[in-house]
Amino acid sequence: MKRLKQIIVLVFVIFFIACKSDEHNAAASTGNINEIAVVISDVLWNGEVGDTIRKRLAAPVDGLTMEEPIFTLNQFNHKVFTGSLSKGRNIVLVEKGTTNNFTYRHNATCTPQNVFTITGKSVDDLLHLIEMHADEVIMKIRDTEITEYQDRHKKTGLLGQSLFTPFGIKASVPKTYTLAMRNEDFLWLKKDIPSGNTSLVIYKVPYEVVEKDKTLINNLIKMRDSVGNMYIHGQEPGTYMKTEEAYSPYIFMTSFRDKRAFETRGNWEMENDFMDGPFLNYAIRDDKHQCYLIIEGFIYSPSSPKRDLLVELEAIIKSVRFI
């Protein structure tokens, strides 16, 4: 019996090492961030099925004043989808068949990779399956793209953790960010890009700043505007960042590292100036330190696409770990 147990353990170890080796040696997937290869016949793509796919997978990003799709969709016919195209990171295959089915394969031919297959006996069946599983597809692809950004950041190098320890956190922020402002209660990191810049700010506020009178959206706007007035100014006197009044922010209750949090997406503008752009704000209840930790990313990139920049900031924010 003892000998049998040893053999079983040995087989398990060999199997585990082999799986890890296969995963390590798997070819790297290809494709731009937030792109999906949709493998579907031209007839289906140009009809109701294609319309439904575009409605769900290319819906507008929340919080952007200039409409951009959550994913860029590239359509391919089954006959041409071979070779390097099959190494894409995100693939959705849609076809008519003899059964109604939805399947998901992870790292099917390379890594990381998501492959979703939707098969329906009729157009109505395909429409039903797309509607039923669209949220799952979106969630898995979004998580993959966040992780992809985080992996790319690690490869290019990260800022030292001493910047973040005063806030009780660790964060994976690329070295491309530089220090714009720092004091005991506030940190502002900034990265120049060809079309402008992206920023990350971190600070803490007492519970009542967010929770007072349970008017969350008003409290969060007042908090942002107060911090902008205090720290984030334009080049001219009397200019400061505030929440744009013309666009009502989106607010969601969520969880962040098992902590209650509020996610806010909206647009900022510079008072007495013409600068503006989107922002993504997380207010995370930190019971250990009896406060809310605020982490926000915002973008200044006039006349340029902002979706991917916003997802990159989200990836940085979601790299945060509490210590």
CATH classification for the domain delimited by 157-322, as one of 3.40.50.1370, 1.10.630.10, 3.40.1000.10, 3.60.21.10:
3.40.1000.10
Domain boundaries defined on the chain: 35-155, 157-322
Of 59, 280, 33, the residue nearest 146 (C-alpha): 33
Between CA 124 and CA 194 the distance in angstroms is 46
Domain at 35-155, CATH class = alpha beta
Burial of 5 (0-12, 13-18, 19+ CB in 10 A): exposed
* Strand residues in 85-185 grouped as ranges (E): 90-96, 101-106, 114-120, 169-170, 178-182
Q: What is the pTM of this model?
A: 0.89
Average pLDDT over residues 264-271: 96
Nearest-10 Cα torsion for 115, 119, 124, 129: -40
Each residue's pLDDT tens digit, 95-105:
999 999 999 99
CA distances from 278 to 69, 272, 275 (A): 15, 18, 11
Amino acid 213: pLDDT: 87
Q: Is the pLDDT of residue 36 over 50?
A: yes
Amino acid 299: pLDDT: 98
Each residue's pLDDT tens digit, 139-188:
999 999 999 999 999 999 999 999 999 999 999 999 999 999 999 999 99
Average pLDDT over residues 110-115: 96
Amino acid 22: pLDDT: 47
Q: What is the 3-state secondary structure (H, E, C) of 235-251?
A: CCCCCEEEECCCCCCEE
Amino acid 26: pLDDT: 72
Each residue's pLDDT tens digit, 197-213:
999 999 999 999 999 98
Backbone phi, psi, residue 158, to 5°: -120, 155
Q: Is the pLDDT of residue 10 over 60?
A: no
Amino acid 3: pLDDT: 52
Q: Max alpha carbon distance in the chain (Å)?
A: 82
In the chain, pLDDT over 90 holds for what percent of residues?
84
DSSP percent split of the chain into helix, strand, coil, nearest 5? 35, 35, 30
- Residue 238: partners with Cβ closer than 8 Å, 6 or more residues away: 271, 272
Each residue's pLDDT tens digit, 303-315:
899 999 999 999 9
Each residue's pLDDT tens digit, 56-87:
999 999 989 899 999 999 999 999 998 888 99
